Each structure stands twice: as C-alpha cells, then as structure tokens.
Amino acid sequence: MVQYTDIGDVSAAEVDRMRTVYGALAESVRELIDATIRTEVDADEVAAVKSEIDAATARLRSEQCDGPFGVRFTTGGDRLAWGNPVIGIRNPIAPPLRIQRDIDGRVFTDFHLGAAYEGPPGHVHGGVSALVLDHVLGEMAASEETPRFTGTITLRYLRPTRLGELHAEARITRTDGFKAYAAGHLADDEGITVEAEGVFIQPKWARG
C-alpha cells in the first residue's frame, strides 16, 4: 500500500515559504549538475569544488528525514510530492514539470531539458521521454479523489527529441470501471517526437 503522510495544520503561507526555500536550493543543485557535466576546469579546481560540495552536503545531512520524502498532505489540502523525479521541486533530478489543465480537461506542460537528460548527442534519452510521458498520462488519469497507477504504457518513438524547450500533453480516451485509458505525446520545436498510450488502474485499497 502506498503511504501518505499528513503533516497537520500547516498554513498555505508556510507551504509557500517552504516551496521558495527548498525550490531555490534544488534549482541551484540543478545548475550544479549541469555545470558538473559541462565544466572544463583543471583538476585542482575540480578538487577544490568537490571539497566545498562535500562540506555543503554534510551540512544538509545534519538534519534530514529517514528514507524518501514521500507524499505529504496538510490539513488544508496542500499536496507536497516534492521528492518526485518529474515534478518534485525539492528534487534536482526533476526539470521540474509544472502540470496545467485546459478548459477541455486536457493536461499539458512546457518545460526545458538540458545536458543532464542527454541520450543520443544533443537529444533526450529515450528513458527520460518515457518517464515524462508516464507521469503526464498518470496526472491525466488520476485525481486526489481517485488515485490510479500505471498498469501498462506503450510508447512510439517517431524520431529523436531535441534537448531544449519541450511540450507534453495527455487526454483521457475512455474509462472502464477501475481503469482509465489515456493518450498523449511529447514534442520539440519541430513537432511530435514520442506518442504514448497507457492504462491506469485504481488500486484495491482506494476502491471505496
């Protein structure tokens, strides 16, 4: 069973404050990841920077939670999936995606992928494309009232996806009991690069 944590009566203002504090930290680490991949400084400079990073890491580890961050909720209904590798604002691995919904109910997101997500030279790793689409389709298929998790997902890679500014979107094609069927795609500035279809299933523990 998936575990969720109720962190109690935390105000919306405090959630916004934490979002700003930890989001800024993660963004700095994202920049560090990119710089680590692309730097050409000499070995002495690398050693000096490594020492500074190790010291900063030790300071952050002086007080930390046990295990993963999980999904946390406040009494007011805020959902904090901040450790998520796709949308998590505290996770430097995440771009992070900001999921939006249009008036037709479709979900979409516009985001940037740089050097940390490279597979073929200059292009997005296919596994990263799958990660993004799995999440976007899952966001379409689920809600706070009706959680659904990936049962199957099928991807068609039409051509390599360029690194840079990207767009992903998804829609529900049909529902059948505890199952929802979703379809979507990933696109770069030249058009659609990957198409996806998935079946998302409500787990037994969430079925009223």
Look at residue 69 and give its three-state secondary structure.
coil
Tens digit of pLDDT for each residue in 105-138?
A: 899 999 999 999 999 999 999 999 999 999 999 9
pLDDT at 59 over 60: yes
The residue-averaged pLDDT of 4-24 equals: 90
Q: Are strands 71-73 and 4-6 parallel, antiparallel or unpaired?
A: parallel
The CATH number of the domain covering residues in 97-206: 3.10.129.10
Domain locations along the chain = 1-94, 97-206
The residue-averaged pLDDT of 35-39 equals: 98
Would you say 183 and 197 are in contact if contact means Cβ atoms under 8 Å apart?
A: yes
Query: What band does 77 get if pLDDT is binned at 50, 70 and 90?
Result: confident
The residue-averaged pLDDT of 97-107 equals: 93
| Closest residue by Cα to residue 144 from 206, 205, 75 | 206
pLDDT at 80 over 70: yes
Return mean pLDDT, the chain.
94
Q: How many CA atoms lie within 13 A of 157 on its CB side?
A: 12
| CA-to-CA dists, residue 97 to 6, 44, 128, angstroms | 24, 36, 13
Virtual torsion, Cα 127, 128, 133, 138, nearest 10 deg: 90
Structure tokens at 157: 């890679």
Residue 195 CA to residue 169 CA, distance in Å, equals: 10
pTM of the model: 0.92
Q: Are strands 79-80 and 71-73 parallel, antiparallel or unpaired?
A: antiparallel
Query: What band does 76 get if pLDDT is binned at 50, 70 and 90?
Result: confident
